[in-house]
């Protein structure tokens, strides 16, 4: 490859990326999941459009897994631990028992209704059963549902890749028939449990390292965290032969929960990196697809399998998994319908392609059509369904983002508070914040101007406020700011009383 050819590739890649970024805004206005636009871009660039040839299933499989690691890292960093912790048992059951129920339902429908052989039937069940982390994280962050629902769905999507990857791999290589069901069940338990423990260990060591090592630039912190995430994934997979996906998700949860320097900058970087991974992943999968190969029969099979997995299998899985936790039927219904499919099923469909399983190309085509049709159906309907089922959280939009920049020499922290339009901090005077003694509001950034506020200065939506707090008073200050953001100037001193007043 000469320099001129490389320049052309860079030009084409930059143009595709820019179009994809603009498409995010378009998809929001149209109410469509952005993944559909990215897949469409890949199809237009492929053999049926501009003629770009891409048929390497093994490369697509490897790049797809790398993209999923980045997406899971972003999801774990931005997931609130206080929401996930109470519902983690439910998420684990959905990711294991729920997946088993869904795979069984789809496999039986594919075999007895469609007449497919058992290997293809089980592959279709295993490939279509897991929810997609990218779709769940991106869509649910825009739907203000109750925290435990969001936590359960995010935990499930972060953990259910492990058993399905293992099942698809064993079925594609014939390992299930040789080893037996009990051996497979033991492998799943081992991979999930040990993978989660390994991820916990890496996350704990990462927090210690990042707290003790003062990096010379704020931009190095997100790079370090992404590196640690890949160490967790690859280390678990290579050293212990456990689920790297479970490991990287738990590692990201631990890091995201910790009070580390430059959290906002880190999240912004990883968020952008995750968008890049999503765009590249969906465009690549669109390139791998071949619309000219898809027949009407494949579309009909995709409809039958989609109904089986979305309506029958998913609702049965959620009912069996959630009923012991006494989850109300309205919340069970939303969890069932919000089990979005996206890149994960298509990436999993590349495994039998790479293993050259008979009819693997048909499995890929059916899954591709299924994801397109049912994502188009489920994604836009979630806000309406959440409202009808009354599972919305009225206080979800009233949070503030607070970053921490350490001031070691003073034994204090600089808190950067961004005031969103929904926050009730807007309209509150500095003196009415009633911050702990010793804490000072040092600067207000409003538009292009920065000024030192007075006691009677009124905060506005869009302001960035810098607060200096002694380290022992940092948590108390954060609770007070969040309480005022939710309940206004009359909020109690601590966040719990503020929420009760709201």
Compare 33 and 304 and report the one with higher pLDDT: 304
pLDDT of residue 496: 42
The tokens for 13 are 């890649």
Domain ranges within the chain, ordered by starting residue = 17-389, 413-494
Classify 413-494 by CATH class: alpha beta
Pick from 33-37, 39-43, 62-66: least confident? 33-37
Compare 317 and 173 and report the one with higher pLDDT: 317
Give the C-alpha separation, 124 to 363, whole Å: 7
Task: Give the pLDDT mean for 315-335.
Answer: 93
The tokens for 373 are 């049709």
Task: Give the pLDDT mean for 405-416.
Answer: 69
Q: The whole model's pTM is what?
A: 0.75
Nearest residue to 418 via CA among 265, 207, 211: 265
The tokens for 180 are 């037996």
pLDDT of residue 397: 43
Q: How confident is the model at residue 179 (pLDDT cuts 50, 70, 90)?
A: low
Distances (CA, A) of 311 to 269, 334, 372: 37, 12, 16
Question: Torsion-angle region of residue 447: left (phi > 0), alpha (psi -120 to 50) or beta?
Answer: left
pLDDT of residue 29: 62
Pick from 131-140, 267-276, 382-391, 423-432: least confident? 131-140
**What residues contact residue 397 under an 8 Å CB cut-off, 6+ apart?**
144, 420, 422
**Predicted confidence (pLDDT) at residue 318 exceeds the cutoff of 50:** yes
The hierarchical CATH code for the domain 17-389 is 1.20.1530.20
Task: Give the pLDDT mean for 429-445.
Answer: 91
Summarised one tens digit per residue, pLDDT across range 354-394 is: 888 888 888 999 999 998 888 888 878 888 898 899 888 75
Contact (Cβ atoms closer than 8 angstroms) between residue 285 and residue 46:
no
pLDDT of residue 494: 46
Summarised one tens digit per residue, pLDDT across range 190-224 is: 888 999 999 999 999 999 998 888 777 778 888 99
pLDDT of residue 499: 42
SS3 call for 392 = strand
The tokens for 88 are 């983690």
Q: How confident is the model at residue 497 (pLDDT cuts 50, 70, 90)?
A: very low
pLDDT of residue 502: 36
Which letter does DSSP use for residue 113 in this model? I
Distances (CA, A) of 58 to 176, 245, 350: 21, 19, 7
3-state secondary structure 400-450: CEEEEEEEHHHCEEEEEEECCCCCCCCCCEHHHHCCCCCCEEEEEEECCEE
Mean pLDDT of the chain: 84
pLDDT of residue 300: 93
């Amino acid at each position: 490859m000469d320099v001129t050819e490389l320049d052309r590739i860079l030009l084409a890649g930059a143009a595709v990326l820019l179009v994809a970024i603009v498409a995010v805004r378009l998809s929001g206005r149209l109410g469509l999941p952005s993944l559909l636009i990215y897949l469409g871009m890949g199809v237009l660039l492929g053999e049926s459009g501009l003629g770009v040839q891409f048929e390497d299933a093994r490369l697509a499989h490897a790049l797809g897994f790398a993209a999923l690691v980045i997406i899971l890292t972003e999801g774990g960093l931005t997931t609130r631990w206080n929401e996930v912790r109470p519902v983690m048992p439910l998420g684990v059951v959905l990711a294991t028992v729920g997946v088993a129920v869904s795979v069984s339902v789809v496999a039986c429908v594919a075999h007895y209704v469609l007449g497919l052989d058992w290997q293809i039937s089980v592959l279709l069940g295993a490939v279509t059963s897991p929810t997609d982390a990218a779709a769940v994280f991106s869509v649910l962050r825009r739907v203000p549902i109750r925290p435990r629902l969001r936590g359960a769905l995010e935990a499930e999507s972060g953990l259910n890749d492990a058993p399905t990857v293992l099942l698809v791999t064993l079925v594609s290589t014939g390992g299930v028939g040789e080893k037996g069901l009990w051996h497979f069940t033991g492998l799943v338990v081992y991979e999930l449990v040990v993978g989660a423990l390994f991820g916990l260990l890496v996350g704990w060591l990462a927090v210690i390292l990042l707290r003790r090592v003062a990096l010379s630039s704020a931009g190095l912190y997100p790079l370090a965290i992404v590196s640690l995430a890949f160490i967790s994934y690859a280390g678990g997979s290579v050293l212990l032969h456990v689920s790297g996906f479970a490991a990287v998700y738990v590692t990201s949860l631990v890091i995201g929960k910790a009070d580390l320097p430059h959290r906002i900058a880190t999240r912004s970087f990883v968020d952008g990196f995750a968008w890049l991974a999503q765009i590249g992943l969906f465009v690549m999968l669109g390139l791998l697809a071949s619309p000219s190969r898809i027949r009407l029969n494949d579309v009909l099979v995709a409809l039958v399998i989609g109904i089986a997995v979305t309506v029958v299998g998913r609702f049965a899985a959620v009912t069996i998994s959630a009923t012991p936790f006494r989850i109300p039927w309205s919340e069970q219904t939303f969890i069932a319908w919000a089990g979005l499919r996206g890149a994960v099923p298509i990436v999993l469909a590349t495994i039998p392609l790479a293993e050259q399983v008979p009819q693997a190309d048909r499995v890929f085509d059916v899954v591709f059509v299924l994801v397109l049709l049912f994502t188009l159906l489920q994604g836009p309907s979630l806000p309406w369904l959440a409202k009808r089922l009354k599972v919305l959280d009225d206080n979800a939009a009233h949070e503030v983002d607070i970053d921490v920049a350490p001031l070691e020499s003073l034994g204090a922290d600089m808190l950067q508070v961004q005031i969103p339009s929904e926050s009730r901090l807007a309209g509150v005077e500095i003196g009415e914040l009633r911050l702990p003694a010793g804490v000072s509001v040092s600067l207000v950034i409003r538009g292009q101007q920065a000024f030192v506020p007075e006691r009677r200065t009124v905060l506005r939506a869009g302001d960035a406020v810098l607060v200096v707090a002694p380290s022992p008073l940092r948590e108390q200050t954060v609770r007070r700011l969040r309480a005022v953001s939710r309940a206004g100037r009359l909020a109690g001193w601590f966040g719990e009383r503020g929420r009760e007043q709201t």
